[in-house]
Homo-oligomer: A and B are copies of this chain.
Amino acid sequence: MKLKQVVEIGKCLSNQTRVEILEWLKNPEANFPPNESGISNKEGVCVGNIQEKTGLSQSTISTYLGSMERCGLLHMVRNGKWSYFSRNEETIQEFIRSIQ
Contact = CB atoms under 8 A, between A and B. Distances in A.
Contacts of A99: 13, 19, 22, 92, 96
A100 to B, nearest CB: 6
Interface string A5-22: 011011111111001101
A93 B96 CA distance: 9
Contact of A100 (B10, B12, B93): B93
Given A6-B13, A10-B13, A13-B13, 18 more contacts: A4-B16, A7-B14, A7-B15, A9-B13, A10-B10, A10-B11, A10-B12, A10-B14, A10-B19, A11-B14, A13-B14, A13-B99, A14-B14, A19-B99, A22-B99, A92-B99, A96-B99, A96-B100
